[in-house]
Amino acid sequence: MSKIWYVTGASKGLGLALVKKLIASGHKVAATSRSRIALEKAVGLSLGENFLPLEVDLTNPTSVSASIKETYDTFGKLDIVVNNAGYGIAGTLEELSDAEIIESFDVNLYGIVHVIKTVLPYFRAKKAGYIMNISSMFGFYSGYGWSVYSSTKFAVTGLSEGLARDLAPLGIKVTTIAPGGFRTNFLGDSAVFPSGTPIEDYNGIHQAHEEIVATLAGKQPGNPEKAAEVIIKLADHPNPPVHLSLGSDSYRLAKEKINTFQAELEEWKDVSFSTDFED
């Protein structure tokens, strides 16, 4: 059944793969990018009335609100929101500038917040809707040398989990999707490294970054086309998951963290219980 989708960060990577598959499947799509020209070029202008390209600054609530209104004015409703826009930022905490850290939160977290706050009144009114927030495997298992990026994605995961509980009674579904390494441009122009002079070495972090880029760029295990297909199928599921790991690497890291956390929890159980009142 055809649905109305709103997809952010649609000019490349997973967002672009998703938009193309949605339109090919007969869905109607409002897609955002910082550059409408780049978006139209990437998706293709021949896609007709089912495609609404939008130039949006996700860090600006007014820009976001205008894009949601244009989506409703064009298509008459909205069924599914995919908050996909974001970028990676690597480096040790002390070598990243305050501006770089704030901007990463503005895009990766607050951009999602602006979209959800704008769309929720519409979803509440019809007691239906689906919000998919693209987090990361590093939003559950903190990446080595990616502490700021991980913190933005941990926030996305936590926000999604809380919203899923809050909105379920209203018929609104929420899923946080944690992709692993997918063969997109994430390790290319979608990854940001410190703008200042990097610390020569910090526990091997810079060496690790170089090794990651050298060994994984263009060789990531995840297929964005298959990920897009999963997301489309998810939209029709009557009881979708709150958390979904995409990619074998994402699954393995999640399992590793769960096992480690469970062992640590039990090891320190007596200390946890020791702080209760003895009634």
CA dihedral 236, 241, 245, 251 (to 10 degrees): -130
For the beta carbon of residue 221, count every other beta carbon within 10 angstroms: 13
Cα-Cα-Cα-Cα dihedral sign, residues 156, 161, 162, 163:
positive
Size of the chain in residues: 279
Choose the catalytic residue: 110, 149, 202, 251.
149
Active site residue 149: yes
Q: Annotated catalytic sites, by residue?
A: 149
